């Protein structure tokens, strides 16, 4: 089956087969969901007439064919499902189960490869037996075993369901989008064919800006064409994988938490994130938490020691009383009735004791922070008297420490705790370490050697687990055999604490997370946003999805379906994609060839891997390479822990990634400060899809910068990353066309993410035009006719109706939409503008400019940080725009008062656009004033300077007093008898 290139059914694992015309059978023409005809008929007979992955209705012609067949094929269908399930699903995954009987070699680990060969033999023999078994002699299964193996009705149901937006909400929304597109075409026809000769420069600039805005609107709007909602069923997941009296069959998950500087990222915040992970509602033997300390700080290490000790009390308390959230700082700070739904009499007493223990724990951690404020001259020293290896943060060895786990300390009740691992990768001068992306890739390799969970969940150090069942929500999708095979990651929305109710600077990003991401979920999936994401480890290794046609070197697969739209034409394949998709088959085939060798030695094994160039892809670690082949994860039982630690130290060496594919095709992709967008884009280009999961209770919560300066610098970083991607080889404008696996609407969404910073150039020009019009008395629009008035009115109405209908299906409030619109202008004329110039400087001159912020202490009151104003160059452009538009409005009214009644008509159009700019910049003005008008002196000086300059410009261009005609004055004097 693997060599034939035919896609496999997602339900039973068998080949899809062909229809009556000889073409590959396609159940859903919207998403090309691979399902064989027998499974499709079974779904229809069960009453499910929509695709489980995308929610689109099945073709009526296919439904009619199934109904005509009647119930005659029901028994055949059942037997087919049973046989295909045994042969397809079980045989496919048997290669990931290794039974190791001998000790692992300390240096190379030969038994791992031997086990792989043995499992391959078992897989081949099992397939032969199942295929050659005569149909007349079915296997005899005892009745009691049949009763035990028969799944419950709840366990056989799908683990997640797609709920499309109701048609009465979505159809008008689409109709208005098309109508707005038509109105835009007519509007631009009018604007271009009616130039303003008296202000040709202003008119031409405005038309160019408006065309760019329309282009940006198309990029932003059409990826939201088919938004969907999803619901996961945790109860069905438990019924299927957690049967009473049996070990849990849930997949293991490795959690990644990354931190750099404990003085900027307080250890107490990181500790709360770690504690919420250790207390998550998931089997403890399936959870491992890896903390990456990229700053090699002894403060982080010591605080993690205290955290591991406190976790022995905190974890059993959380699970005993089912508290939410399970981050102690945020649980104890809740202003709610904590006795609600708590019936245990001992709860109050234990809660008080736990709060007292947590306060003592905080005192110990804060004492460590106070101690770390001043570094000793001789460097830090550990408790045993040896120097701390990370005293030189730029030159230190790799460090790994396992605190908790099956061999570590247990909780106070004697139960096992999840594994907690401290990791600090090696740093040496002269090596490129790639910041966060490099740290995440180091965690991928360490976790593969130590635990090798099939799924990875990464969190920022300030994003704690707010919903203890969030991992189960993700597993409802990833472990669903009908949905999860093609899913590279499940992305959760970001939610934040500590933001004021009005959300002055749109820190919550509600429009992006509740509108744009829902729209992408209906295409190929949401973008990866850096945190709160559960990955399929195989997708991070650069492999393609299992259901995609197998691509062989030098040949196209026998049947290729484009992800953009179904077509019979075979698209040209990208050589890089062909190479990556063929890797797994090459290694599987090579290991299969080892079955012909009875006594292969280390030399033959190393020659084999060298021949296949796998070290050039994954690096020089045979243990890690073996782990990449275990699709279901896991570590051999006989693996020696000390050997694995030694191998883990090896894979986090600073030179391990040299001359490999790490950061190019594997793991987090390098080349941008927004490595999250780039990494998700690469996975989508390989044919994977992602899923957006929005539980009722937010899965994760974090902290966001709420003052103006910090918010602008955050947006600057995001915009700079987009500009870097735009100038890189991974630009969505030209990358990833070869395989035809990236859908066109998905590509539009990615193009939007990399071109939006360039909107700052026309935006700042368009925000300047109203002031120039008011100061010069000219206007960018000629005298309006009835047709032109209708076009302008239709355009404004279509903009408003589109927003209203978008709010209707998304549930976003109008206040959130307005805040998002305001900050789009604020960020566009400041952070985005600086990002574009910084990107050009880096590209052309190699100058990496950093716009730093001077830190100041925040007030102790609630939202005290909101009123802080830190001087930064990002404040200059919006301040300038505010001043010139305010001066322009004053000048316009003054001029109208002097000219009389006929001047008031044209004035209103000019003032409308100027007020549009001022209203959008109002949150910036409010933030600039701070509390009690405590504006920085430098901002006041700039404001006075700019106001003076523009006042002088105004007097020069058009003074307030009317010009006197000297000839007319002379004639008047002659006629008067002096």
pLDDT per position as a tens digit, 410-440: 878 888 889 999 999 988 888 888 888 899 9
Least confident of 18-27, 86-95, 381-390: 86-95
Would you state the pLDDT for residue 488? 92
Angle between helices 470-478 and 234-241 (to 10 degrees): 70
Burial bucket for residue 314 (CB in 10 Å: 0-12, 13-18, 19+): buried
Contact 471, 282 (CB under 8 A): yes
Would you state the pLDDT for residue 506? 84
Which 8-state DSSP code applies to residue 830? T
Token digits of residue 788 = 């032109």
Contact 289, 255 (CB under 8 A): yes
> How many Cα atoms occupy the beta-carbon half-sphere of 65 within 13 Å?
13
Q: Is 909's pLDDT higher than 70?
A: yes
Q: Cα–Cα distance between 514 and 495 in angstroms, integer?
A: 11
Give CA separation, 391 vs 296, 382, 426, in Å.
8, 11, 13
* Mean of pLDDT values over 295-317: 90
Q: Cα–Cα distance between 84 and 565 in angstroms, integer?
A: 29
Phi, then psi, of 269 in degrees rounded to 5 = -70, -45
* Mean of pLDDT values over 81-91: 35
* Mean of pLDDT values over 732-760: 89
101 labelled as ligand-binding? no
Contact 802, 180 (CB under 8 A): yes
Give CA separation, 468 vs 54, 287, 320, 410, 489, in Å.
27, 13, 13, 20, 19
Phi, then psi, of 615 in degrees rounded to 5 = -65, -30
- Determine the 3-state secondary structure of 57 from DSSP: strand
Q: Is 67's pLDDT higher than 50?
A: yes
* Mean of pLDDT values over 291-317: 90
Q: Is 588's pLDDT higher than 70?
A: no
Would you state the pLDDT for residue 96? 29
Q: Which residue has the tokens 């809660």?
A: 351
Share of the chain above pLDDT 90, in %: 23
Would you state the pLDDT for residue 117? 46
Would you state the pLDDT for residue 580? 45
- Determine the 3-state secondary structure of 205 from DSSP: helix
Would you state the pLDDT for residue 687? 87
User: Longest Cα pair distance anywhere in the chain, in angstroms?
Assistant: 134
Token digits of residue 543 = 């492999």
Would you state the pLDDT for residue 508? 86
Winning range, highest mean pLDDT, from 93-107, 332-346, 368-382: 368-382
Mean predicted lDDT score pLDDT of the chain: 76
* Mean of pLDDT values over 664-672: 88
CA angle 657/660/661 to nearest 5° reads 110
User: Which strand (E) or helix (H) includes residue 745?
Assistant: helix 744-755
Q: Cα–Cα distance between 840 and 782 in angstroms, integer?
A: 37
Q: Is 62's pLDDT higher than 80?
A: no
* Mean of pLDDT values over 16-44: 74
DSSP conformation letters of 542-611: TPPPTTSPPPBTTB--SS---SSS--SS-PPPPHHHHHHHHHHHHHHHHHHHGGG-SS--HHHHHHHHHH
646 labelled as ligand-binding? no
Q: Is 352's pLDDT higher than 70?
A: yes
Least confident of 376-385, 451-460, 662-671: 376-385
Would you state the pLDDT for residue 868? 56
Q: Is 111's pLDDT higher than 80?
A: no
Query: What is the location of CATH 3.90.550.10 in the chain?
Result: 248-396+412-423+431-544+666-704
Residue with the larger pLDDT of the pair 629 and 940: 629
Would you state the pLDDT for residue 556? 34
Would you state the pLDDT for residue 549? 57
Burial bucket for residue 429 (CB in 10 Å: 0-12, 13-18, 19+): exposed
965 labelled as ligand-binding? no
pLDDT band at 890 (very low <50, low <70, confident <90, very high): confident
Would you state the pLDDT for residue 141? 44
* Mean of pLDDT values over 126-138: 44
Burial bucket for residue 821 (CB in 10 Å: 0-12, 13-18, 19+): middle
Q: Is 761's pLDDT higher than 50?
A: yes
Contact 401, 652 (CB under 8 A): no
- Determine the 3-state secondary structure of 826 from DSSP: helix
Least confident of 127-136, 252-261, 291-300, 457-466: 127-136
Winning range, highest mean pLDDT, from 162-166, 471-475, 843-847: 471-475
Least confident of 308-322, 558-572, 669-683: 558-572
Would you state the pLDDT for residue 947? 55
Least confident of 571-575, 667-671, 806-810: 571-575
487-491 and 689-692 strand pairing: parallel
- Determine the 3-state secondary structure of 78 from DSSP: helix
294 labelled as ligand-binding? yes
pLDDT band at 563 (very low <50, low <70, confident <90, very high): very low
Contact 294, 426 (CB under 8 A): no
Q: Is 243's pLDDT higher than 90?
A: no
Token digits of residue 825 = 């202008």
Residue with the larger pLDDT of the pair 375 and 355: 355
Would you state the pLDDT for residue 964? 45
Which 8-state DSSP code applies to residue 666? B
Query: What is the location of CATH 3.30.40.10 in the chain?
Result: 1-58
Contact 741, 687 (CB under 8 A): yes
* Catalytic residue ranges: 294, 676
568 labelled as ligand-binding? no
Q: Is 670's pLDDT higher than 60?
A: yes
User: Which strand (E) or helix (H) includes residue 489?
Assistant: strand 487-491
SS (H, E, C) 115-129: HHHHHHHHHHHHHHH
Q: How far is CA 329 from the centre of its chain?
A: 26
Contact 856, 742 (CB under 8 A): no
* Mean of pLDDT values over 909-936: 74
224 labelled as ligand-binding? no
Token digits of residue 804 = 């209203």
Would you state the pLDDT for residue 857? 37
Would you state the pLDDT for residue 256? 94
pLDDT band at 404 (very low <50, low <70, confident <90, very high): confident
Looking at the domain covering 248-396+412-423+431-544+666-704, what would its CATH class be?
alpha beta
Contact 595, 589 (CB under 8 A): no
Would you state the pLDDT for residue 100? 28
Contact 417, 313 (CB under 8 A): no
Answer yes or no: CATH 3.40.350.10 is held by domain 1-58: no
460 labelled as ligand-binding? yes
Residue with the larger pLDDT of the pair 585 and 396: 396
């Amino acid at each position: 089956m693997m060599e034939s290139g035919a896609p496999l059914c997602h339900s039973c694992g068998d080949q899809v087969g062909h229809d009556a015309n000889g073409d590959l059978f396609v159940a859903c023409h919207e998403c090309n969901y691979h399902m064989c005809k027998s499974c499709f008929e079974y779904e229809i007979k069960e009453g499910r007439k929509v695709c489980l992955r995308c929610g689109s209705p099945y073709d009526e012609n296919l439904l009619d064919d199934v109904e005509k067949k009647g119930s005659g094929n029901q028994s055949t269908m059942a037997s087919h499902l049973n046989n295909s399930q045994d042969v397809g699903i079980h045989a496919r995954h048997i290669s990931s189960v290794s039974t190791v009987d001998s000790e692992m070699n300390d240096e190379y680990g030969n038994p791992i490869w031997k086990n792989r060969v043995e499992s391959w033999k078992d897989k081949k023999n099992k397939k032969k037996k199942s295929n050659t078994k005569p149909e007349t002699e079915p296997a005899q299964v005892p009745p009691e075993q049949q009763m035990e193996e028969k799944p419950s009705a709840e366990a056989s149901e799908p683990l997640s369901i797609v709920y499309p937006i109701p048609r009465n909400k979505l159809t008008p929304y689409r109709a208005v989008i098309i109508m707005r597109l038509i109105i835009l075409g007519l509007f631009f026809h009018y604007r271009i064919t009616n130039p303003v000769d008296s202000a040709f420069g202003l008119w031409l600039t405005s038309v160019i800006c408006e065309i760019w805005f329309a282009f940006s609107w198309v990029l932003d709007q059409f990826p939201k064409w088919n938004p969907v909602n999803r619901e996961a069923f945790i109860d069905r997941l438990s019924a299927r994988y957690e049967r009473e009296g049996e070990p849990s069959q849930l997949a293991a998950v490795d959690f990644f938490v990354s931190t750099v500087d404990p003085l900027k990222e307080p250890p107490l915040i990181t500790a709360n994130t770690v504690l919420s992970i250790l207390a998550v509602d998931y089997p403890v033997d399936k959870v491992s938490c890896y903390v990456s300390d990229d700053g090699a700080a002894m403060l982080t290490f010591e605080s993690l020691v205290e955290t591991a000790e406190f976790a022995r009390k905190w974890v059993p308390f959380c699970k005993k009383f089912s508290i939410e959230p399970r981050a102690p700082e945020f649980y104890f700070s809740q202003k709610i009735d904590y006795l609600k739904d708590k019936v245990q009499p001992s709860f109050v007493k234990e809660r008080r004791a736990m709060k007292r223990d947590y306060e003592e724990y905080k005192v110990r951690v804060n004492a460590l922070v106070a101690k770390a404020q001043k570094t000793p001259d001789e460097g830090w020293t550990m408790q045993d008297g040896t120097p701390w290896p990370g005293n030189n943060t730029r030159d230190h060895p790799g460090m790994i420490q396992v605190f908790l786990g099956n061999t570590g300390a247990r909780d106070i009740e004697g139960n096992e705790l999840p594994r907690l691992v401290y990791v600090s990768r090696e740093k040496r001068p002269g090596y490129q370490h790639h910041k966060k992306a490099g740290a995440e890739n180091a965690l991928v390799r360490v976790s593969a050697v130590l635990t090798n969970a099939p799924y990875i969940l990464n969190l920022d150090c300030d994003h704690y687990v707010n919903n203890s069942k969030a991992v189960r929500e993700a597993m409802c999708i990833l472990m669903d055999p009908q949905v999860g095979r093609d899913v590279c990651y499940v992305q959760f929305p970001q939610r934040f604490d500590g933001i004021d109710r009005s959300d002055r600077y749109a820190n919550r990003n509600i429009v992006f997370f509740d509108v744009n991401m829902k729209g992408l979920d209906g295409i190929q999936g949401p973008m990866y946003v850096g945190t709160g994401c559960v990955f399929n480890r195989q997708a991070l290794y650069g492999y393609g999805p299992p259901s995609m046609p197998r691509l062989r070197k030098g040949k196209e697969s026998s049947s290729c379906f484009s992800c953009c739209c179904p077509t019979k034409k075979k698209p040209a394949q990208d050589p890089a994609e062909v190479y990556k998709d063929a890797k797994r088959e090459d290694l599987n085939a090579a290991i299969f060839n080892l079955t012909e060798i009875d006594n292969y030695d280390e030399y033959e094994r190393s020659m084999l891997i060298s021949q296949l160039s796998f070290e050039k892809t994954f690096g020089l670690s045979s243990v890690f390479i073996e782990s990449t082949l275990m699709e279901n994860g896991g570590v051999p039982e006989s693996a020696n822990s000390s050997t694995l630690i030694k191998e883990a130290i090896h894979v986090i060496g600073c030179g391990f990634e040299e001359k490999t594919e790490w950061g190019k095709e594997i793991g987090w992709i390098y080349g941008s400060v927004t490595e999250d967008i780039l990494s998700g884009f690469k996975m989508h280009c390989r044919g994977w899809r992602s899923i957006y999961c929005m539980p009722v209770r937010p899965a994760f919560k974090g902290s966001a910068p709420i003052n103006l300066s910090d918010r602008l610098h955050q947006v600057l970083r995001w915009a700079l990353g987009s500009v870097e991607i735009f100038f890189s080889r991974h630009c969505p404008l030209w990358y990833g066309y070869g395989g035809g696996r990236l859908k066109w609407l998905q590509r539009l969404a990615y193009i939007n993410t990399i071109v939006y910073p360039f909107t700052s150039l026309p935006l700042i020009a368009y925000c300047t035009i109203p002031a120039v019009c008011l100061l010069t008395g000219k206007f960018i629009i000629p005298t309006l006719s009835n047709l032109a008035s209708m076009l302008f009115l239709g355009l404004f109405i279509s903009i408003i109706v589109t927003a209203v209908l978008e709010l209707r299906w998304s549930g976003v409030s109008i206040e959130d939409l307005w805040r998002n619109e305001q900050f789009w202008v604020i960020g566009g004329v400041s952070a985005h503008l600086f990002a574009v110039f910084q990107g050009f400087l880096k590209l052309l001159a190699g100058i990496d400019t950093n716009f730093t912020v001077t830190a100041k202490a925040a007030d102790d009151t609630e939202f005290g940080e909101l009123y802080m104003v830190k001087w930064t160059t990002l404040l200059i452009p919006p301040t300038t725009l505010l001043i010139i538009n305010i001066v322009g409005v004053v000048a316009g009214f003054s001029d109208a008062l002097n000219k009389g009644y006929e001047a008031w008509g044209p004035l209103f159009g000019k003032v409308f656009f100027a007020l549009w700019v001022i209203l959008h910049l109002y949150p910036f003005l409010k933030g600039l004033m701070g509390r009690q008008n405590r504006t920085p002196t430098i901002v006041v000086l700039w404001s006075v300077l700019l106001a003076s300059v523009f006042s002088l410009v105004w007097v020069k261009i058009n003074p307030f007093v009317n010009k006197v005609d000297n000839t007319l004055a002379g004639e008047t004097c002659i006629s008067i008898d002096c």
